[in-house]
Amino acid sequence: MNIAVIIPAGGSGERLGANIPKALVQLGGRTLIEHAVAQMAPIATHVVVAAPAGFEDQFRSLLGTEVTVVTGGITRTESVKAALKTLSKEISFVLVHDAARPLASTDLARRIIKELEAGADAVIPGLKVADTIKRVNIDGFVTKTPNRTKLRAIQTPQGFTYETLVTAHKSMSDATDDAGLVEELDIPVKVILGEERALKITTPDDFQRAYRFLLGEDVMDFRVGIGTDAHAFSSDPSRALHLAGLEWPGEVGVDGHSDGDVAAHAICDALLSAAQSGDLGSHFGTSRPEYAGASGSQLLQEVRAIVDAAGFVITNVSVQIVGNRPKIGPRRQEAIDALSHALGGAPVSVSATTTDGLGFTGEGKGLSAIATALITCK
């Protein structure tokens, strides 16, 4: 069965207001015409695109040699006529599809063809309308309110037997769609269920909706969280310093309910906040004596389990340690490895800064850390 797809793309896209023809505007890294051709090519033996005059070569280099490019006309109907002329009589069915509907699916095209194969002469997709539609006169007065349940918003691709479309285009009328010409011949036009994703790009706002369909299931649900922690250096010289999942021999430790690992604690709070799952205090506070002296790594593991149970995976965490000592640089990789290990291998970055002698960290009274976490819904 020979199936041709005609894609009128000869418009200038006045309402979109780009300084190039609408079909050449990009949606997610691909032009609208490339999207439309990619969706229709799997069901087509011939694809004919009507390009705006002067842009034919640009269309050819974008679409490759498999696609026939003709010069479009002044109106959409003229553009379709120009494309139709290139088709031979061996074609059984012709689908006419607007470049302005880049995301109409291959599946929709297949459903149209199925109806043509079952014997219909003309098949078009349509959606029920949500708004009440009224007919008005030139003075702005309502002349009629058609019953909404009987109305459909019509999309493309529209499918026809070759004979039907050729006969319809012998008419001198100019319709906004090809089915309009077929209706004038009193040939029945069947409406099947269209698709939301076959939306037409007319104004810049339409891109927002189109993106949603384009990205589809690939859209990831990201959550970001923030956490900070601070501890004072201990007056007990025998207390060891635990920081970023490591022990730091020769450094003064900090006071605290747990091991006082400010970097690990800030990361824990960032993760819990991203997962909307409370904070360190609400999970492991003083009411849970079993966590007294818990290591930073142990808390990170516990928090990872909470984040996991809440339905998220850790995308990355980033922590900055604020203080004069210890110097983080020489053990940065060790710290990253320790924190990442506690988080099941999640990407971690560790940075450090001093505060130019200012504040409790600058005065050498203690250490603080600030962390962000990015998590993704599973």
Residue selected from 3, 4, 5, 10 as contacting ligand CTP according to rule CB under 6 A: 10
Q: Which of 94, 93, 70, 92 lies closest to 83 in space, CA to CA?
A: 70
In the bound complex, what is the minimum distance in angstroms from residue 351's beta carbon to Mg ion?
A: 54
Contact between 22 and 201 under an 8 Å Cβ cutoff? The reply is yes
Q: How far apart are CA 291 and CA 285, in angstroms?
A: 8
Kindly write down the DSSP assignment for every residue of 300-322, as one continuous string: HHHHHHHHHHTTEEEEEEEEEEE
Phi, psi of 94, rounded to the nearest 5 degrees: -125, 130
- The yes or no reply on residue 11 touching ligand CTP (CB under 6 A) is yes
- Nearest residue to ligand CTP, by Cβ distance, number only: 11
Q: Which is nearer to Mg ion, 87 or 179 (CB)?
A: 179
Indicate which single residue of 18, 74, 193, 305 sits in contact with ligand CTP (rule: CB under 6 A). 74
Q: 16 or 47: whose CB is closer to ligand CTP?
A: 16
Q: What is the CA radius of gyration of the chain?
A: 32
**CB burial string 9-27: b at 16+ within 10 A, e below:** bbbebeebeeeebbbbbeb
Name the residue among 198, 30, 206 with its Cα closest to residue 103. 198
Asked if residue 50 binds ligand CTP (CB under 6 A), the reply is yes
* C-beta closer to ligand CTP: residue 5 or 328: 5
84 binds ligand CTP (CB under 6 A): no
14 is an interface residue for ligand CTP by CB under 6 A: yes
Among 100, 109, 274, 338, binds ligand CTP (CB under 6 A): 100
Q: Which residues pair with 366 in a beta bridge?
A: 232
Stretch that binds ligand CTP, among 12-20, 113-121, 126-134, 222-230 (CB under 6 A): 12-20
Q: Which does 50 bind (CB under 5 to 8 A by kind): ligand CTP, Mg ion, none?
A: ligand CTP
Q: Does 99 bind ligand CTP (CB under 6 A)?
A: yes
Q: Please, which residue, 15 or 114, has the CB nearer to ligand CTP? A: 15
Q: Is 300 in the site for ligand CTP (CB under 6 A)?
A: no
Distance CA 263, CA 369 (A): 5
Token look-up 């037409």 returns 200
- Binders of ligand CTP among residues 307 to 336 (CB under 6 A) are none
Interface positions, 7-36, toward Mg ion (CB under 5 A)? 11
Does 53 bind ligand CTP (CB under 6 A)? Our answer is no
**Cβ neighbours around 78 below 10 Å, total:** 17
Binding mask 235-254 for ligand CTP (x = CB under 6 A): --------------------
Q: Does 12 bind ligand CTP (CB under 6 A)?
A: yes
Q: Which is nearer to Mg ion, 72 or 245 (CB)?
A: 72
- Asked if residue 205 binds ligand CTP (CB under 6 A), the reply is no
Interface residue with ligand CTP, options 76, 111, 223, 265 (CB under 6 A): 76
Contact with ligand CTP (CB under 6 A) among 72, 125, 180, 225: 72
Q: Which of residues 111-140 bind ligand CTP (CB under 6 A)?
A: none
Q: Give the count of beta carbons closer than 10 Å to the beta carbon of residue 92.
A: 16
State residue 60 phi and psi, 5-degree precision.
Answer: -60, -45
CA of 361: how far to CAs of 116, 240, 251, 325, 333, in Å?
77, 18, 15, 9, 23
**Cα torsion 153, 159, 162, 163: sign:** negative
Which residue's CB atom is positioned nearest to Mg ion? 11
Which residue number, 51 or 307, has a Cβ lying nearer to ligand CTP?
Answer: 51
**Axis crossing angle, helix 56-63 with helix 32-40, rounded to the nearest 10:** 50
* CA–CA gap between residue 298 and residue 242 (Å, rounded): 12
Q: Which residues bind Mg ion (CB under 5 A)?
A: 11
Binding site for ligand CTP (CB under 6 A): 8-16, 22-23, 50, 72-76, 79, 98-100, 200, 202
